[in-house]
Amino acid sequence: MIDKFTVDLIAPCGINCGICKSYLAYSRGVPYKKGEVSHCSSCLIRNKNCAFIRKNCEKLRKKQIRFCYECSDMPCEQLAKIDQYYQTRYGMSMVENQKMIREKGTTEFLKHQAEKYMCPSCGDVVSVHDGKCYACGYQGENPTKRISKSQLNQRRWKPNRK
């Protein structure tokens, strides 16, 4: 069985690649279909730049920090933008993930992720993006969670600017 949640799958931005539909399709052997099913083996495992943050962050590129929470500028403009998108679209906050990792550590964060994204049918992982389990085909509710702009602005992190 594939190790579902590992520290190597936590991207610097705070997303757990282990709940991403592209990683799940890749790691569960779902055939790639252009325009339908994409594949990704995770940025860190491939030793590539973080798809969201790393290419724009000198501290991450130079490996001065591992997670964005280690930076005094957290959340930067880029992280705040991605966080807003994920909160609005998927009901998940990368900034909140960062806070949990900082306060409780990666082990507790991964335990929380395992509880939150466990497939009720087979015990594997349900994608944050589409609510699907790529191991057994279970299709839960699509996690897209629309919230009002006023709710988002109350919860939204403002980027740190120098």
Residue 143 has a pLDDT of: 63
- In tens digits, the chain (162 residues) has pLDDT values of 356 888 989 988 899 999 999 999 998 988 888 877 888 877 766 566 666 665 678 888 888 988 999 999 899 888 898 899 999 889 899 999 999 999 999 999 999 999 999 999 999 999 999 999 999 999 987 765 555 555 545 544 444 444
Task: Using the structure block, give the residue that is written with the tokens 């990683």.
Answer: 23
Check: CB of residue 40 under 8 Å from CB of residue 22: yes
Two tokens, residue 159:
């980027």
Check: CB of residue 90 under 8 Å from CB of residue 143: yes
Task: Using the structure block, give the residue that is written with the tokens 């790529």.
Answer: 134
Q: How far apart are CA 88 and CA 64, in angstroms?
A: 31
Two tokens, residue 158:
């403002």
Two tokens, residue 23:
């990683």
Residue 36 has a pLDDT of: 79
